[in-house]
Amino acid sequence: MNTQGEIILRAEALAKGFTIGTARVEVLCGADILVRAGKSVSIRGESGCGKTTLLNILSRMENPDSGLLQWQGREVAQIRPARLARERGRFMGMVFQSYYLVPELDVIGNVLLAAKVAGMKADKARARELLERVGLKERLFASPLTLSGGERQRVAVARALMNRPALMLADEPTGNLDEKSGAVVMDMLLAICAEQGASLVLVTHNRAFAARADESLVLHDGRLIPA
């Protein structure tokens, strides 16, 4: 385990359960994670074991039942609810399995939207540069609906990096892609995060992809254990 560098994300003893009808399901019970600046961590686990739930808690889109969560050393529970969304938008970028591009906006519009929504400067040059980096130089003004799955996910990666986030969360980013385009997206994701100095938490089913991270974890029985 690497012990160098600023701690970007720290979570300790996270617990989260859901009540469905009368049944109680404990999804997380005592999950710990530590992510340092510029490092990547991969998480594998069976379907339905709570990986998405964990990422939702790390991004504070969902509240844990108990446990500690810090973003760059700041206690997330201390952030005023009114400020939370904006803090999140500036601190982290997210990539989802199903891209979630806004179909009414063009490719560059989608990337710029991330900056505008988070109340940051809509830097066209940066958006262009990121899209060039993911190989979409020719498609800046295309509608997302005309792109392939792999291309859409590359737009989503560029969008997630637009605000120079310290942390990237990627939830099965290649889950909907075929092997070849999945590999392209994964290469780019890892490379760009490294270039931009963003830490990465990557949820994936693919062992090979998981092995490329600086640290590999498995979510099992509500805990994160080294692979």
Partner 1 sequence: MPWYLQLALRQLFPKGRRWPSFFFLLSVLGVSLGVMILVITQSVMGGFDKEHNAKMIMTSGHADVNAGGSVMHNSGALIAAISARPETLAAVPYAQGIVMLTHGNHPAFPFIRGLDLSQPRQVVPVGELLIAGDIADMDDDAVLLSSRLSQAIGAWVGSTVEVYTPLMIEKLKADEVMLPRRLRVCGIYETGWTPFDSNTMVCSLPLMQDLYELGDGIHGISILLRDERDESVWKYARSLGAELGRSQRVQTWMDMNRDFLWVLALEKNMMMFLMLFIILVASFAIAAAQLLTVLRKTREIGLLEAMGARPLHLGLLYCFQGFFIGLAGTLLGMAGAVLALHYRDPVIATLAAITQSQAALEQFYQFSHLPVYYDPADFILISIATLTISTLAGLIPAIRAAYMKPAEALRSE
Contact assessment for residue 41 and residue 50, using Cβ atoms and an 8 Å cutoff = no
176 lies in the binding site for Mg ion (CB under 5 A): no
Q: Residue 203 and residue 200: Cα distance in Å, rounded?
A: 10
Q: How far is the CB of 227 from partner 1 (least distance, A)?
A: 26
100 lies in the binding site for partner 1 (CB under 8 A): yes
Whichever of 43 and 118 has its CB closer to Mg ion, that residue is 43
Q: How far is the CB of 82 from partner 1 (least distance, A)?
A: 8
| Torsion-angle region of 24 (φ positive above 0: left; ψ -120 to 50: alpha; else: beta) | beta
Site residues for partner 1, window 38-77 (CB under 8 A)? 52, 56, 59, 61-62
Q: How far is the CB of 29 from Mg ion (least distance, A)?
A: 18
Q: Amino acid letter at 28?
A: L
Q: How far is the CB of 109 from partner 1 (least distance, A)?
A: 7
Stretch that binds ligand ADP, among 17-25, 128-136, 177-185, 189-197 (CB under 6 A): 17-25
Whichever of 39 and 60 has its CB closer to partner 1, that residue is 60
37-76 footprint of ligand ADP as x/- string (CB under 6 A): --------x-xxxxxxx-----------------------
The tokens describing 77, both together, are: 């529970």
Q: Residue 94 and residue 173: Cα distance in Å, rounded?
A: 10
Sheet with 7-20, side-by-side order of all strands: 23-36, 7-20, 66-71, 74-75
CB neighbourhood size of 1 (10 A):
8
